[in-house]
Homo-oligomer: A and B are copies of this chain.
Amino acid sequence: MEFRELLIGLIVILLAAKIGGELMERLGQTAVLGELLAGVVIGPGVLGLVRETKVLHAFAELGLIILLFEVGLESDLAKLLKAGPQALLVAMVGVVVPFATGFGLMHALGYSGLVAVFVGATLTATSVGVTARVLADLGRLQDAAASVVLGAAVIDDILGLITLAIVTGIATTGAVSPGAIVLLAAKSAIFLAVAVLIALRRAPGLVGLIGRLQARGALVVSALVFALALALAAEWIGLAAIIGAFAGGMILSRTEPQAQIEERIKPVADILVPIFFVLVGMKVEPAQLNPFADGAQLWVALALTVVAVVSKLVAGLAVYHPGTRRWPVGVGMVPRGEVGLIFAGTGLAAAVVSPDLYSALVVMVMITTFVAPAWMKVLYRPGVELESI
């Protein structure tokens, strides 16, 4: 019975993802937008064909890990390192400005300081998943702006974790533990530094062993185990699993069978990654978007959305290298995606954010997530040249 539900769920999700992706591609949009919309349509808000079970949730989480692994695999470490200082600046501006403006807006609207802190924190999120997927759909992972956005999104994910630790600390104990925050920041920096070092020095040796294996499927399984092990390591030291998966891909991108790994992991990604985006879409309840339901809430949602978009565009202005375009960087930081939902959900769970305000935050998350892929598509329309640093 349970297995039947899983079969139905997978069939509906994969079919909807492919139909949505295909339609959007024919309309000149990216496939990921179609998958997000497909999730809205089959989700509990509209047709209610599928509900998110534990197993489907696990598939989606693995999908996100494989996506980041794949993006790491396709990325160019030399370019990422070159883009590093710029990416760090963009990430910092992309955290400070959304937080400050979000806090200011809520304060101006008369909300308490604690609520304003939580909303500001939610606005700092960047969905590295959505951004990476859009760049992959557009075939622009090698672009100079892409290196900056990806680097900034990864750093943003780490800054987001730190921000979440701070605001949760304020909400629960009323205080911030500076030691814990310094520790988290230090662990993150060390983790990434070690990954980069391994990528530069030890990657070829790692793969020699795999090449000597005879059993069928040794390469794809080894690569996957490597990605999962790094995701686990990241998760273990308190980072997000996807950071580890990205680092794992980055390390293997420096190895000789990189192209083979990419080719073998692709079909696995083709199946699992859309499940993640459909499940993100399934979290939208269009009833919440109805302007006649509650006028005040709608205006809060729209104000939050404007602040969310503009404040991340400002981050794009932090690009100082003349050869890199600012707009793709700014727009690439706009989608809040699953990260924004986690922030808002934490606020709701801590009873800091009211259900009404939570709905407004979800509207903001969804609009930013749905607008960014279409916007990126315009910025990278055919004929726009690839840039290099």
Interface residues of A (CB under 8 A from B): 2-4, 6-8, 10-11, 14-15, 17-18, 21-22, 25-26, 31, 54-55, 58, 61-62, 137, 213-218, 220-222, 224-225, 228-229, 231-232, 235-236, 241, 264-271, 274
Contact = CB atoms under 8 A, between A and B. Distances in A.
A215 B25 contact: yes
A231 B68 CA distance: 31
Contact of A270 (B11, B217, B235): B217
A221 B218 CA distance: 23
B7 A232 contact: yes
Contacts of A22: 213-215, 218
Contacts of A266: 217, 267
Given A7-B235, A21-B215, A215-B31, A221 B58 contact: no
A263 to B, nearest CB: 8
Contact of A7 (B11, B54, B231): B231
Contacts of A55: 54-55, 58
Closest 7 CB pairs of A and B: A217-B270, A264-B267, A7-B232, A21-B215, A55-B58, A220-B267, A22-B215
A215 B11 contact: no
Nearest to A15: B225
A146 B10 CA distance: 32
Contacts of A217: 266-267, 269-271, 274
A380 to B, nearest CB: 16
A274 B222 CA distance: 13
A241 B3 contact: yes
